[in-house]
Amino acid sequence: MEELVGTLLEELGIRPDSTVGAAAIQAARDVQPVVSAITATAAKWQVRITQLFKRHRLSSEHFAPTTGYGYGDRGREVLEAVWADAFGGEAALVRPQIVSGTHAIGLCLGAVCRPGDLLVSALGEPYETVKSVIGLTGQRGSLADYGVRYCEARGEEELVRAVESGAAAVFIQRSGGYSQRRALSVAQIARLVSVVKGVNQKTVCIVDNCYGEFVEELEPSHVGADLVAGSLIKNPGGGLAPTGGYIVGREELIQLVAARLVVPGSRDLGPSPIGYRHFYQGLWIAPQCVGQALITACFSARLFELLGFPVRPKFDEPRGDIIQAIGLGARERLLAFLREVQARSPVDSHVAPEPWLMPGYQHEVAMAAGTFVQGSSIEFSADAPVMAPYEVYLQGGLSAAHGIWAVIAAAKVIVS
């Protein structure tokens, strides 16, 4: 890390004895043990996924595009079988027809919850876009519109009471999202699932796995979660999947989800006119990408902490997702940070981020996202709700060298 940071400082023309230069070198030293641990986790996943491809006898014929109904699509079938094995579920749906993480989560919620059923969010408010799915923003066609009841638990006691009162499903969000809550560890998810199952074995545990994939050695489906959903333009797409979402879980529930995704009886439909190579190769490289993203996050945490800014999590705290929050404390600093990140992106580096009211969000947000895949957040990007305490959320980083280079440059602009 020290050599990498030394090289990047040179490239940036920042002297090692300047405020930012010295902090960057110190940060590089401090994060080294964490970087080693991240590298080890990535290596384990890398080996595991490579061996899975072998077990499923993956070959280039599986990459072929399919059209029309997509009947007998071996590329899709093998991809879904590999995915289920990698995540520890019985079955999976991995499709370009799932357009976002929210779509994947919405399919799970809609498949399990019937009119009159109670859905419980285990840890308070869900991610902004999921609120619209549940019906908290008055959207037509939401679960609420179909008569699904909803409540939020805060802590185990409230969760137990909600499940005792007959909840059909419990929603567990792994990442903290834009909230102050920390990301859950897989062990914490296991604990929540066992609490729910201890009260009612039939209550379905649905995990929003966005940003969490491959951060730890196990996934929520390894520890009892019934349905787990996420986006392919985040961690598990490895920056290569051009679109898509996934759902992994118990076979009988995956059947229900497929009935919502397509129509009942049509689970075996679904072509990929662009083929499957990007999805396989993306999954294969994903642990490496998640490792690079985590290294970028840890370094950023330590650098900004050394420069006197509050950060969540700290560099040496356990991580459940790839998100790093940095409290910049002022609107101007926040926008300057985002401008610098955007200016150092591989794509759209000539544009400046502007705060806007993005669909599905309740307040102004500003984003720096110069990504190859539109909106991809496994690629290095930063976004922020433009309001106090002016925290910026960093995520992604296919190349730690790129992410760290941009973050040091942003620090320089903010500190001087």
Ligand X SMILES: *Cc1c(COP(=O)(O)O)cnc(C)c1O
* Interacting residue ranges for ligand X, rule: CB under 6 A: 100-102, 105, 127, 129-130, 173, 175, 177, 208, 210-211, 231
Q: Which is nearer to ligand X, 208 or 226 (CB)?
A: 208
Min CB(209)–ligand X separation in Å? 9
Of 21 and 245, the one with the shorter C-beta distance to ligand X is 245
Give the DSSP H or E segment for 184.
none
Residue closer to ligand X (CB basis): 121 or 173:
173
In the complex, the smallest distance separating the C-beta of residue 245 from ligand X, rounded to whole angstroms, is 7
- Lookup: tokens for 319: 């991580």
Name the residue nearer to ligand X (CB basis): 127 or 279: 127
We find the least distance from the C-beta atom of residue 173 to ligand X, in angstroms, to be 5
With contact defined as beta carbons under 8 Å apart, do 73 and 104 qualify? no
The three-state secondary structure class of 228 is strand
For ligand X, which is the closer residue by CB, 203 or 395?
A: 395
Residue with tokens 């419980």: 120
Which residues are CB-contacts of 303 (< 8 A; sequence separation ≥ 6)?
23, 24, 27, 407, 408, 411
Q: Which is nearer to ligand X, 185 or 231 (CB)?
A: 231
Residue 163 Cβ vs ligand X, minimum distance, rounded to whole Å: 22
Q: Do the beta carbons of residue 409 and residue 11 sit within 8 Å? A: no
- In order of 3, 4, 35, 127, 228, the CA distances from 10 in angstroms are 11, 10, 22, 40, 44
Q: With H, G, I as helix, E, B as strand and everything else as coil, classify residue 36.
A: helix
C-beta of 75 vs 244, nearer to ligand X: 244
For β-strands 91-95 and 245-249, DSSP reports them as antiparallel
Question: Which residue has the closest beta carbon to ligand X?
Answer: 101
Burial pattern 68-85, b for ≥16 Cβ within 10 A else e, equals eebeebebbebbbbbbbb
Minimum CB separation of residue 36 from ligand X in Å reads 27
CA separation for the pair 29, 11 (Å, rounded) = 19
Can you tell me the distance from the alpha carbon of 292 to that of 201, in angstroms, rounded to the nearest whole number? Answer: 39
Nearer to ligand X, 127 or 299 (CB): 127
Helix, strand, coil proportions of the chain in percent (round to 5)?
45, 15, 40
Count of beta carbons in the 10 Å neighbourhood of residue 33 = 11
The residue to which tokens 């993480």 are assigned: 101
Structure tokens at 74: 């071996």
Contact 71, 205 (CB under 8 A): no
Q: Which is nearer to ligand X, 211 or 405 (CB)?
A: 211
For residue 118, the 8-state DSSP code is E
- Alpha-helix residue ranges (DSSP H) falling in 238-393: 251-261, 277-306, 331-343
To ligand X, the closest distance from the beta carbon of 263 in angstroms equals 22
Shorter beta-carbon distance to ligand X: residue 211 or 304: 211
CB of 193 to ligand X, least distance (A): 18
The C-alpha atoms of residue 35 and residue 54 are separated, in whole angstroms, by: 29
Q: Which is nearer to ligand X, 226 or 321 (CB)?
A: 321
Neighbour-count burial for 304-319, b at 16+ CB within 10 Å, e otherwise: bbbbebebbbebeeeb
Residue 395: CB minimum distance to ligand X, A: 8
CB of 130 to ligand X, least distance (A): 6
Shortest Å, Cβ 215 to ligand X: 13
- In angstroms, what is the minimal distance from the CB of 1 to ligand X? 27
CA separation for the pair 169, 117 (Å, rounded): 8
